[in-house]
A and B are shown apart, each in its own frame.
Chain A
Amino acid sequence: MDETNVLMRVQGLTTNFHTYAGVVHAVDDLTLTVPKDSVVGIVGESGSGKSVTMMSVMRLIPSPPGRIEGGQVWFDGSALGMSDRMEKDGPNKGMVDLLSLPAEAMMKVRGRHIAMIFQDPMVSLNPVLTIGLQMTESMVVHGLATNEEAWKRAVDMLTLVGIPNPEERMRDYPHQYSGGMRQRVMIAMALSCSPELVIADEPTTSLDVTVQAQILELMKELKAKLKSSIIIISHDLSIVAGMADKVVVMYAGRVLEEADVYDLYEKPGHPYTMGLMKSVPRLDAENRERLVPIEGSPPDLLAPPVGCKFAPRCTYAMNICREQEPPLVTVGDGHRARCFLHHPTAPAVPGFVKVE
């Protein structure tokens, strides 16, 4: 990958939750790169750490019980306009570590440079404030506009996301909007400060299929118009397929596989990714084939299994998988997978490339 074209690089991120029952290792030594002007999809089941990763990036982890215990989140310093905090040398030259920023500086980043679209538009808008007030707030707080300018821009943004009569709807309260409309408002709000990065955390999970299609089309359309990178989090491989340039598969707080979208769907390099694809029926399937489920259930992160976290559910698991955690190895151009089957001494399994 082009090293100069990186917008954000999460390096060795570790987030733990200290509960009465013990320490939950929600995200463990996670590394992730987001190139400029791209869409990165993060796929994983509930509890795989995909939301916690993004909350850590935004530094919104409730503490206690949560604590970010390691790693850096490098973000393009020139985009942030923080030339004094930029790294002078080394691989992260010109980047700023968000995790070491003081709280006030971080507040200038949230909403302005990194914006978030939450899963449930029903609960993420304030029910007692008008849409207009909530739309203009971030622009005014970040000093991008006066009240009047912000109001005008908010109306423009609502028009952009396809809200009819935006002038009037600005004075409405969230309960007067339908679910799909609220999600449009959330998107408009996230984009109002023209952030460099938009994080969409399961943006369509609580919506109906037809409304989901509307929102996904809207996001694609806006992607072409605006110069923001997008991280789209989903549990559904098919939603990510049409949007992302690059896909990251997470499981038990780790990256199991990351690849270009075509590579991931055509030659998956991890048994978990393969399992996920076989366990969902396809609408365009010719015959009614029996689904192949992934047996068992995701691990308990209070006491995760030793070795590969997926080994207890894996059909190919070998002895070493239960003893040692496999490293993330490069198996192709920009394609990395965390599996011992790529090791030269592993038994041959169709679909797995042997690498040193």
Chain B
Amino acid sequence: MDTILKVEHLKKYFAVNVGGPFARKMASLKAVDDVSFEVGRGETVGLVGETGCGKTTVGRTIVGLYKPTAGTITYCGENLCALTHEAMRKVRSKLQMIFQDPYASLNPRMTVGNIIEEPMDIFSIGTIAERRERVQELLCTVGLNPEHANRFPHEFSGGQRQRIGIARALAMNPDFIVADEPISALDVSIQAQIVNMLEDLQQNLGLTYLFIAHDLAMVKHISDRVLVAYLGKIVEIDESKDIYKHPLHPYTKALLSAVPIPDPRIEMQRQRIVLKGDLPSPVNPPSGCHFRTRCPIAQQICAEQEPELRDMGSGHMVSCHFVS
């Protein structure tokens, strides 16, 4: 498979003040801690995990919104972390992002036409007339009426706004799109519309997606492969059709069993693996395996030694001492 994006040992730490309001005592919040994965061209990779597992930070670092603390991101053979500002600008046009909250990610003072046109303005592509035409075309692509170009974001519903956000991401003919929870703010009946549209766009335009979400059922539906993240680390990587049947990591098992299924007969009989407690603080993560504080099978070794991400055959990677 032709690799389009390769992330190696990516780390992103944020400096936070832990000394209270009057004392300055800095600590580092390890949002992403040594993450490596690859994405093939035309593939959809899902990244799942709970709030605070670093999934959004991974996405934002890839598109260059954050500077990584350590590690490399290789996109089409170029190391993004070593590029100059000018060179990065060029690459970034091929690397776009769809944001989570369609209410916050569109400028309320700009018309929809201007919002979609802005990336083309920045890169000085075509004449004004050509750009206008492209805006009309993009609006059609995402299923909106071309006449909507003169309206403002507040005149649209959540689902329509997300379509505008997608049109903006498509304006520069990108190859790679980071979709950061693109449907979690939408109503159930609208989610399917957006997901189907993303699938169609991928078919027609040959896009590659990194699909970030916490909804495992949706991730399983849309992705070819799934990465499961926990507290800044990737704990399991597998084909999406296999991960449901044969999860290996105890966290993945718990995550899957936590997802409710819309069928009362199955639901009433299901035995849930309920994780105790909450996510530990990423400022001071547990020693050894990060998951050990909530893990039902944790032993002494988990506190002492950090498990490595091991290949269990045919690309199924897992980081747990007790998986063989």
Taking a contact as CB atoms under 8 Å apart, the answer to whether A241 and B221 are in contact is: no
Taking a contact as CB atoms under 8 Å apart, the answer to whether B189 and A213 are in contact is: no
CB of B3 closer than 8 Å to a CB of A: no
**16 A–B pairs (Cβ distance < 8 Å), ordered by A:** A179-B278, A209-B214, A213-B257, A216-B260, A217-B272, A217-B274, A236-B188, A237-B188, A241-B260, A242-B267, A280-B191, A281-B218, A284-B266, A290-B199, A291-B192, A293-B189
Q: Measured between C-beta atoms, what is the minimum distance from B283 to chain A in Å?
A: 14
CB of A199 closer than 8 Å to a CB of B: no
CB of A261 closer than 8 Å to a CB of B: yes
Taking a contact as CB atoms under 8 Å apart, the answer to whether B217 and A280 are in contact is: yes
Taking a contact as CB atoms under 8 Å apart, the answer to whether B214 and A178 are in contact is: no
Taking a contact as CB atoms under 8 Å apart, the answer to whether A279 and B274 are in contact is: no
Taking a contact as CB atoms under 8 Å apart, the answer to whether B264 and A214 are in contact is: no
Q: Which of A252-282 contact B (CB under 8 A)?
A: 261-262, 265, 275-282
Taking a contact as CB atoms under 8 Å apart, the answer to whether A209 and B258 are in contact is: yes
Q: Which of B189-204 contact A (CB under 8 A)?
A: 189-193, 195-196, 199
Chain A residues with CB under 8 Å of chain B are 45-46, 178-181, 208-214, 216-217, 235-239, 241-242, 261-262, 265, 275-285, 288, 290-295, 297-298, 313
Q: Measured between C-beta atoms, what is the minimum distance from B44 to chain A in Å?
A: 11
Taking a contact as CB atoms under 8 Å apart, the answer to whether A284 and B274 are in contact is: no
Asked, given contacts A181-B278, A293-B196, whether A262 binds B264 with beta carbons under 8 Å apart, the answer is yes
Residues of B close to A179: CB separation below 8 A: 278
CB of B216 closer than 8 Å to a CB of A: yes
- Residue of A237, A275, A297 contacting most chain B CB atoms (<10 Å): A297
CB of B292 closer than 8 Å to a CB of A: no
CA of A283 to CA of B264 in the docked complex: distance in angstroms?
14
Taking a contact as CB atoms under 8 Å apart, the answer to whether A279 and B189 are in contact is: yes
CB of B28 closer than 8 Å to a CB of A: no
CA of A147 to CA of B256 in the docked complex: distance in angstroms?
44
Taking a contact as CB atoms under 8 Å apart, the answer to whether B256 and A210 are in contact is: no
Which single member of A209, A238, A295 contacts B262 (CB below 8 Å)? Answer: A238
CB of B255 closer than 8 Å to a CB of A: yes
Q: Measured between C-beta atoms, what is the minimum distance from A104 to chain B in Å?
A: 39
- Residue of A237, A242, A265 contacting most chain B CB atoms (<10 Å): A242
Residues of A close to B152: CB separation below 8 A: none
CA of A285 to CA of B219 in the docked complex: distance in angstroms?
13
Taking a contact as CB atoms under 8 Å apart, the answer to whether B218 and A241 are in contact is: no
Q: Measured between C-beta atoms, what is the minimum distance from B198 to chain A in Å?
A: 11
Asked, given contacts A178-B278, A281-B217, A283-B259, whether A213 binds B272 with beta carbons under 8 Å apart, the answer is yes
Residues of B close to A313: CB separation below 8 A: 189
Asked, given contacts A293-B192, A295-B193, whether A237 binds B262 with beta carbons under 8 Å apart, the answer is yes
Residues of B close to A239: CB separation below 8 A: 260
10 more contacts with CB within 8 A, not counting A211-B50, A262-B264, are A208-B50, A210-B275, A235-B187, A235-B188, A236-B188, A241-B264, A280-B191, A283-B256, A288-B221, A293-B190
Taking a contact as CB atoms under 8 Å apart, the answer to whether A212 and B258 are in contact is: yes
Q: Measured between C-beta atoms, what is the minimum distance from B220 to chain A in Å?
A: 6
Interface string of B170-200 (1 = CB under 8 A from A): 0000000000000000011111110110010
Q: Measured between C-beta atoms, what is the minimum distance from A46 to chain B in Å?
A: 6
Taking a contact as CB atoms under 8 Å apart, the answer to whether B254 and A282 are in contact is: no
Asked, given contacts A276-B189, A283-B216, A291-B196, whether A262 binds B265 with beta carbons under 8 Å apart, the answer is yes
Interface string of B248-285 (1 = CB under 8 A from A): 00000011111111111111101010110011000000
Residues of A close to B160: CB separation below 8 A: 297
Asked, given contacts A283-B217, A293-B196, whether A46 binds B187 with beta carbons under 8 Å apart, the answer is yes
CB of B157 closer than 8 Å to a CB of A: yes
Q: Measured between C-beta atoms, what is the minimum distance from B109 to chain A in Å?
A: 22
Q: Measured between C-beta atoms, what is the minimum distance from B175 to chain A in Å?
A: 23
Asked, given contacts A45-B187, A45-B188, A209-B216, whether A284 binds B244 with beta carbons under 8 Å apart, the answer is yes
CB of B89 closer than 8 Å to a CB of A: no
Asked, given contacts A237-B262, A280-B217, A284-B244, whether A291 binds B195 with beta carbons under 8 Å apart, the answer is yes
Asked, given contacts A276-B189, A282-B262, A291-B196, whether A241 binds B267 with beta carbons under 8 Å apart, the answer is yes
Taking a contact as CB atoms under 8 Å apart, the answer to whether A294 and B189 are in contact is: yes
CA of A212 to CA of B190 in the docked complex: distance in angstroms?
22
Taking a contact as CB atoms under 8 Å apart, the answer to whether A283 and B188 are in contact is: no
Q: Which of B124-181 contact A (CB under 8 A)?
A: 157, 159-160
Q: Which of B34-59 contact A (CB under 8 A)?
A: 50-51
Which single member of B190, B270, B272 contacts A297 (CB below 8 Å)? Answer: B190
Taking a contact as CB atoms under 8 Å apart, the answer to whether A210 and B187 are in contact is: no
Taking a contact as CB atoms under 8 Å apart, the answer to whether B188 and A276 are in contact is: yes
Residues of A close to B255: CB separation below 8 A: 209-210
Residues of B close to A236: CB separation below 8 A: 188, 260
CA of A214 to CA of B257 in the docked complex: distance in angstroms?
11
Residues of B close to A277: CB separation below 8 A: 262
Residues of A close to B193: CB separation below 8 A: 293-295
Residues of A close to B188: CB separation below 8 A: 45, 235-237, 276, 279-280
